[in-house]
Amino acid sequence: MSNQITTTLEQTPVLIVGGSIVGLSMALFLARQGIRCLLIERHSGTSIHARAGAFNPRSMEIFRQAGLESAIFQAATPPNELGEMGLRVVSLAGPVIDSSEQIINQQYQQSDPFASPTRRALIGQDKLEPIVLAHARDAGCDIRFSNELVSFEQDKTGVTARVKERATSREYQVHASYMVAADGNRSMVRQQLGIDSYGYGELGNWASILFQADLSSLLPGRKITLGFINNPIVEGLIGQSAEDRWGLLAYLKPGEPTPLSEARCLELVRAAIGRSDWPVRLVGTLYWELAARVAEHYQCSRVFLAGDAAHVMTTMGAFGANTGIADAHNLAWKLAMVIKHQAAPSLLATYEAERQPAADLAVGVSSWLYAYRLPQHEQHEEIMRSASQLIERVRLLPDAPHPTGFSVVSGYLYRSGSIVLENEAIIPLFENAPSGRPGTRAPHIWLSSNGETMSTLDLFGHGFVLLTPTSDAWTAAVTNLSNKLSVPFAIHGIGDHQPYTDTEQQFQSSYGISSSGAVLVRPDGFIAWRAHSLPPNPLQALELVLRNIVE
What pLDDT shows up at residue 105? Answer: 52
Q: What percent of the chain has pLDDT over 70?
A: 95
Helix (H, G, I), strand (E, B) or coil at 489: strand
- Tell how strand 235-240 and strand 303-305 pair up: unpaired
pLDDT tens per residue, range 3-25: 666 667 999 999 999 999 999 99
pLDDT tens per residue, range 454-490: 999 999 998 999 999 998 889 999 988 888 888 899 9
In angstroms, the CA 309 to CA 288 distance is 16
Question: Are residues 457 and 352 located together in one domain of the fold?
Answer: no
Question: Which residues lie below 8 Å from residue 121, measured CB to CB, with a gap of 6+?
Answer: 54, 55, 60, 72, 73, 76, 128
Q: Are the C-beta atoms of residues 166 and 147 closer than 8 Å to each other?
A: yes
Q: Are the C-beta atoms of residues 285 and 265 closer than 8 Å to each other?
A: yes
Please state the separation of Cα 486 from the chain's center in Å: 30
Task: Give the Å distances, CA to CA, from 7 to 4, 11, 156, 172, 483.
Answer: 10, 13, 21, 7, 43
pLDDT bin (cut points 50, 70, 90) of residue 104 is very low
214 within a domain of the structure (yes/no):
no
| Domain end marker among 315, 342, 362 | 362
Upper half-sphere CA count for residue 269 (Cβ side, 13 Å): 30
What pLDDT shows up at residue 453? Answer: 95
In angstroms, the CA 545 to CA 462 distance is 18
321 within a domain of the structure (yes/no):
yes
Which residues constitute the domain of residue 512? 446-550
223 within a domain of the structure (yes/no):
no
Q: Are the C-beta atoms of residues 34 and 334 closer than 8 Å to each other?
A: no
276 within a domain of the structure (yes/no):
no
Domain count, the chain: 2
Q: What is the mean pLDDT of the chain?
A: 91
Question: Are residues 45 and 150 located together in one domain of the fold?
Answer: yes
End-to-end CA, the chain? 51
253 within a domain of the structure (yes/no):
no
Residue 435: φ, ψ to 5°: -130, -20
**CATH code of the domain covering residue 538:** 3.40.30.120
What pLDDT shows up at residue 380? Answer: 81
Q: Which residues pair with 300 in a beta bridge?
A: 303
Question: Are residues 455 and 352 located together in one domain of the fold?
Answer: no
In angstroms, the CA 20 to CA 41 distance is 8
407 within a domain of the structure (yes/no):
no
| Domain end marker among 343, 362, 381 | 362
pLDDT tens per residue, range 285-324: 888 888 999 999 999 999 999 999 999 999 888 899 999 9
Q: How many other CB atoms sit within 10 Å of the CB of residue 15?
A: 27
Is residue 362 scored above 90 in pLDDT?
Answer: yes
480 within a domain of the structure (yes/no):
yes
What pLDDT shows up at residue 475? Answer: 93
Q: What percent of the chain has pLDDT over 90?
A: 72
| Domain end marker among 336, 362, 388 | 362
Residue 340: φ, ψ to 5°: -85, 5
What pLDDT shows up at residue 1? Answer: 44
Which range, 36-50, 141-155, 468-482, has the best average confidence (pLDDT)?
141-155
Is residue 102 scored above 60 in pLDDT?
Answer: no
pLDDT tens per residue, range 183-227: 999 999 999 999 999 999 988 888 989 899 999 999 998 888 888
Question: Which residues lie below 8 Å from residue 392, measured CB to CB, with a gap of 6+?
Answer: none
pTM of the model: 0.91
Mean predicted confidence (pLDDT) in 391-402? 91
138 within a domain of the structure (yes/no):
yes
Burial class for 218, CB neighbours closer than 10 Å (0-12, 13-18, 19+): middle
Mean predicted confidence (pLDDT) in 377-399? 88
Alpha helices in 315-379 (DSSP H): 320-339, 349-373
Closest alpha carbon to 39 in 65, 21, 58, 63: 21
pLDDT tens per residue, range 223-244: 888 888 999 999 988 988 778 8
Is residue 35 scored above 50 in pLDDT?
Answer: yes
pLDDT tens per residue, range 247-288: 898 989 888 999 999 999 999 999 999 999 999 999 988 888
Question: Are residues 358 and 451 located together in one domain of the fold?
Answer: no
**CATH code of the domain covering residue 135:** 3.50.50.60
Mean predicted confidence (pLDDT) in 424-445? 92
Mean predicted confidence (pLDDT) in 330-352? 97
In angstroms, the CA 157 to CA 469 distance is 45
